[in-house]
Amino acid sequence: MAQIILLGTGSAWSGPDRENTFMLVRGESTNVLIDCGGSPTQRLAQVGVKPSEIDHIILTHNHPDHIYGFPLLLMNAWMAGRKTPLHVYGLKATIRSARRMLSALDFRLLPNFMKIKYHVVVPNSVTTLPPIGEFDIAVAPTTHFVPTLALRFTERATGKVFAYSSDTAPSRNVVDIARGANIFLHEATMLDTSSEGHSSAVEAGQEAAAAQVGELVLVHVPPDVRPTKWRAAAKENFHGKVVVAKDFDVIEF
Ligand SMILES: [Zn+2]
Ligand SMILES: [Zn+2]
């Protein structure tokens, strides 16, 4: 059984109890990190995972709250003695930003630094990544300020699916990629107001209902989130289970 471990659940403006939204997907044999918020090593330590045990990183987009921990994670993986290549996936602009961060910080001066294999994802309505461990992964572009990917993970052995909206306003692509998912992580930056590039809890509920998912988990919530209100707002349109995620929640799928 695979797990999603939420290493952060906050919006771009983190709060005292929430790191920016990023997460670890743990399979039997594979660790996949989705985005890389601050203090990745400290967050991973709390769930008993070393930076060197991350084999694959998917970066959804190049906003700082989603990628600013990337150089530190890599440096700590190198310090922990990682020798094998690390795979990094993202859209062209995101990969460019990731590479620029490393060059701005003179990573070329680190001796025997492990190889980073970059996989540039070409945006389409739905694109399939090369299989990663026990997962088949599809991605699709969202409606955000910069090119951004929503994700769909299918555990091959069980057929169980989890989908993640990443940052987005309501989006047909996101509904399509989440269709029928057991677990749907959707951003809910606001309660009930619409805004360019992001979604409210009400809109997350609409998207979950349209995609006919099993369970909705709200992430990317603001520091002043009131979970009861966010849940009720999502439930206006979605009648399945709704959870307002907290940092270090573990979701099995
Ligand atoms: Zn964000
Ligand atoms: Zn963003």
pLDDT bucket at 134, cuts 50 / 70 / 90: very high
What is the domain extent for residue 205? 3-252
How far are the Cα atoms of 46, 165, 188, 196, 230 from residue 193, in angstroms, in the given order?
A: 35, 18, 10, 10, 12
pLDDT bucket at 125, cuts 50 / 70 / 90: confident
Inform me whether the pLDDT recorded for 188 exceeds 90. yes
Inform me whether the pLDDT recorded for 178 exceeds 90. yes
Cα of 147 vs centre of ligand 2, distance in Å, is 9
The stretch 170-181 carries a mean pLDDT of 98
Cα of 65 vs centre of ligand 1, distance in Å, is 6
Cα of 67 vs centre of ligand 2, distance in Å, is 10
The stretch 131-157 carries a mean pLDDT of 97
Burial environment of residue 159 by CB neighbours within 10 A (0 to 12, 13 to 18, 19 or more): exposed
Give the pLDDT of residue 1: 85
Work out whether strand 183-187 and strand 215-219 pair parallel, antiparallel, or are unpaired.
parallel
- Rounded to whole angstroms, the Cα distance separating 146 from 50 reads 31
The CATH number of residue 218's host domain is 3.60.15.10
Cα of 192 vs centre of ligand 1, distance in Å, is 18
Give the pLDDT of residue 2: 95
Cα of 222 vs centre of ligand 2, distance in Å, is 13
The stretch 120-134 carries a mean pLDDT of 90
Give the pLDDT of residue 128: 93
- Rounded to whole angstroms, the Cα distance separating 100 from 119 reads 15
Q: How many domains does the chain have?
A: 1
CB within 5 A of ion ligand 1: which residues?
12, 65, 167
Cβ contacts of 45 within 8 Å, gap of 6 or more: none
Q: Which ligand is nearest to the CA of 189?
A: 1
The stretch 234-251 carries a mean pLDDT of 98
Q: What percent of the chain has pLDDT over 70?
A: 100
Q: Which ligand is nearest to the CA of 187?
A: 1
What mean pLDDT, rounded, does the chain reach?
96
- Rounded to whole angstroms, the Cα distance separating 45 from 48 reads 5
Give the pLDDT of residue 124: 81
Q: Tell me: the pLDDT tens digits for 217-235?
A: 999 999 999 999 999 999 9
**Residue 63 backbone class (left: φ over 0; alpha: ψ -120 to 50; beta: rest):** beta
Q: What percent of the chain has pLDDT over 90?
A: 95
Cα of 162 vs centre of ligand 1, distance in Å, is 19
Q: Tell me: the pLDDT tens digits for 60-105?
A: 999 999 999 999 999 999 999 999 999 999 999 999 999 999 999 9
Q: Which ligand is nearest to the CA of 37?
A: 1
Give the pLDDT of residue 57: 98
Higher pLDDT: 150 or 39? It is 150
Phi, psi of 209 (to 5 degrees): -65, -45
Cα of 66 vs centre of ligand 1, distance in Å, is 6
